[in-house]
Amino acid sequence: MFRYCPHCGSSQVRVAGSQRFSCDDCTFVFFQNVATATGCIISAKTGVLFEVRGKEPGKDKLGFPGGFVNPGEGAIEGIRRECVEEIGWDPGENVRFMASFPNEYRYKGVLYHTCDLYFTVSAPELTLSDLTLDTKETREVRFIMPHEIALDDIAFDAAKKALRYFTLSMARR
Ligand SMILES: [Zn+2]
């Protein structure tokens, strides 16, 4: 995490587990807590909505709309905001909690531990023409039937688990 104390500059720093950082020379303590993130499986008649990621991590791989929850924000607010930002579409009141998976997100050399909350949205009539993409984040959007997906094409472990969970829960219906 840190090689020197950000408060006093001492090199007498201690890391307990992957979370607690403290300095022996002053009273500085820092917790790298797990961050909350969201993801959303939007299912239309033509398939599940996947984004082709436009940037690292996981550039060119498939992912679901989602991202980190902002300070002061609830998870449902967060996923609705991410959908509006990334695909220009608000799932509104149709967001349902599905399951939660731990994830690791490496960005510019720093490893972030997240707890990803996955939601589902049923939007049978949704098509590409309803969407406006943020092309910096999302190169394109594809509707793909879950059984046609190769899990290796998906960027994050939590997203693979979420898709598997979604497919199994659909099969049980
Ligand atoms: Zn210190």
In this predicted model, what pLDDT tens digit does every residue of 1-57 receive, in sequence order?
678 999 999 999 998 877 889 999 999 999 989 999 999 999 999 999 999 988 888
* 22 Cα to the center of ligand 1, angstroms: 8
24 and 75 fall within a common domain? no
* 20 Cα to the center of ligand 1, angstroms: 14
Range of the domain at 48: 36-171
d(CA 100, CA 118): 6
- What lies within 8 Å, CB to CB, of 153 at 6+ separation is 61, 62
29 and 44 fall within a common domain? no
Q: How many domains, in total, are found in the chain?
A: 2
State residue 92's pLDDT score. 94
* 34 Cα to the center of ligand 1, angstroms: 23
* 151 Cα to the center of ligand 1, angstroms: 45
Q: Is 50 in contact with 141 (CB distance < 8 Å)?
A: yes
Average pLDDT (65-82) is 97
* 113 Cα to the center of ligand 1, angstroms: 24
Q: Is 1 in contact with 80 (CB distance < 8 Å)?
A: no
**pLDDT tens digits along 94-131:** 999 999 999 988 888 888 899 999 999 999 999 999 99
131 and 87 fall within a common domain? yes
* 24 Cα to the center of ligand 1, angstroms: 7
Q: What is the pTM of this model?
A: 0.88
